[in-house]
Amino acid sequence: MDRKEIDRTMQQYVANEEMAGGALYVRQNGELVYQGKWGYARKESRQPIAFDSIYRMMSMTKCITAAAVMLCVERGLLALDAPLSSYIPEFAGLSVATDKRYVYDEMKLKKLPILLLGFSMRRVKREPAEREITIRDLLSHSSGLEQGLVGLLALLKEKKQYATLEMFVKHYAEYVLDFHPGTGTGYSPVAGYDILGYLVSLVSDMSLEAFLQKEICGPLGMKDTTFFLTQEQKERLVDVYKRKKDALVNVTGTKEDMTGILHQKEILFEHGSGGLYSTVEDYEHFGEMLLGRGKFKGKQLLKPETVELMRTEAPKAHLEPDPGMVWGLGVKIRQNPEATGSFATQGTYGWSGAFGTHFFVSPLDKLEAIFAMNRSDIGGSGSYISKKVEELVFGIWGGKQEREK
């Protein structure tokens, strides 16, 4: 396999209308070893993708929010194992669902519309939580908040437009947890990381946007990473598409765009769970920092031990969201790649976005990569295109240590 295979594969995805356009950066041993771009930012006008095209990063926002939280931990503003209620008192005394109607299974997913009709959080049977949610729980998707059928139904039923991040976050204090904190896992798509973003603003006494610009984006030269685009940046924002009948349909500005996914008519505040815009170049700087154990261009942004902690299994109990996978702090780790069916080497970590953005860092291979596209129905972390990107990258640059032995 060689790098020409990347171009052939991506050009085929564009030709087949499986993606409108996308880009990939790969760095190894400190060098940018590959950069490629394909297709269109706006297919209808044939505006080509550029390396400074801006994408909706969706849940890849979480990794940057996690880094912000860890900066606050380093500075003593937050403690990993402190109760959430010690910072936001409304989260004291939460309850856990015991309602047999909402025990998660595949068959219930097929009946979601029916369940949704009769769902009310007030009527869910419950018991007191065995302990409080901690910051570690939120970072490692083990809080029980929005992580099962009750949380999913509440998310789907959410209609209210909140005016501030504080109001939005505090409404989660009314939720019933899907499991006792620290006893289960899965994925908290919005709640966990929006709460974490609010915590950063609370303890730093500045907005999450201001904190990121000062402490992360500025030092890393991420000039196009923001929650709020300027007019000039909007002109570089790629359109978002959905595939229907083997063709791409533009869904920009509809309920299937980022604002719709975040249940907002317009973005009024920062969503630490999935509201960032960025470029492949910008996000690659973030990946370079993680690969450099917190260092970027000679400056130490995060302590090496902090990055080590982020990429180490984080919950107190061993909890696998998928076979062979575990959560670190803000990232998913391939603890046993063979069990996952992954092409990555052991210890590779990263995350993805709902619209097809994907990044990973392999400490073993001294390798990091960032891929971006925007298609609303691509499948997030389970995207077949993301999996193909990993196969291609690791097929060309992975496993070098083993081959050299």
Q: Could you read off the pLDDT tens digit of each residue along the chain, which spans 405 residues? A: 789 999 999 999 999 999 999 999 999 999 999 999 999 999 999 999 999 999 999 999 999 999 999 999 999 999 999 999 999 999 999 999 999 999 988 888 888 899 999 899 999 999 999 999 999 999 999 999 999 999 999 998 887 889 999 999 999 999 999 999 999 999 999 999 999 999 999 999 999 999 999 999 999 999 999 999 999 999 999 999 999 999 999 999 999 999 888 877 778 899 999 999 999 999 999 999 999 999 999 999 999 999 999 999 999 999 999 999 999 999 999 999 999 888 999 999 999 999 999 999 999 999 999 999 999 999 988 899 999 999 999 999 997 544 343
Kindly state whether residue 192 falls inside one of the protein's structural domains.
yes
How many helices (H) and strands (E) in the chain? 16, 16
Together in a domain, 371 and 224: yes
Kindly state whether residue 61 falls inside one of the protein's structural domains.
no
Together in a domain, 146 and 121: yes
Kindly state whether residue 209 falls inside one of the protein's structural domains.
no
Together in a domain, 229 and 180: no
Kindly state whether residue 139 falls inside one of the protein's structural domains.
yes
Q: 3-class DSSP state for residue 181?
A: coil
Q: 3-class DSSP state for residue 120?
A: coil
Domain tally, the chain: 2
Q: 3-class DSSP state for residue 177?
A: strand
Kindly state whether residue 245 falls inside one of the protein's structural domains.
yes
Q: Going along 105-183, which residue ranges are E strands? A: 126-128
Together in a domain, 327 and 239: yes
| Enclosing domain of residue 152 | 66-204
Q: What is the pLDDT of residue 401?
A: 43
Q: Which letter does DSSP use for residue 175 in this model?
A: P
Together in a domain, 261 and 156: no
Residues in the chain: 405
Together in a domain, 236 and 320: yes
Together in a domain, 352 and 223: yes
Q: What is the pLDDT of residue 8?
A: 97
Q: What is the pLDDT of residue 400?
A: 56
291, 331, 378, 274: which is closest to 26 by C-alpha?
A: 291
Q: What is the CATH number of the domain that holds 389?
A: 3.40.710.10
Residues 225, 217 contacting (CB under 8 angstroms): yes
Together in a domain, 191 and 250: no
Q: Which letter does DSSP use for residue 322 in this model?
A: S
Phi, psi of 25 (to 5 degrees): -120, 140
Together in a domain, 100 and 139: yes
Domain edge (last residue) among 204, 228, 257:
204
- Alpha-carbon span 58 to 50, nearest angstrom: 20
Q: 3-class DSSP state for residue 218?
A: coil
Question: What six digits make up the tokens of 137?
Answer: 């729980």
Kindly state whether residue 223 falls inside one of the protein's structural domains.
yes
Together in a domain, 190 and 232: no
Kindly state whether residue 271 falls inside one of the protein's structural domains.
no
Question: What six digits make up the tokens of 192?
Answer: 């966990």
Q: What is the pLDDT of residue 264?
A: 73
Kindly state whether residue 191 falls inside one of the protein's structural domains.
yes
Q: What is the pLDDT of residue 403?
A: 38
Helices (H), 213-279: 231-234, 258-261
Cβ burial of 114 (10 Å; 0-12, 13-18, 19+) is exposed
4, 65, 17: which is closest to 275 by C-alpha?
A: 65
Together in a domain, 249 and 361: yes
Together in a domain, 49 and 187: no
Question: What six digits make up the tokens of 270?
Answer: 């920062």
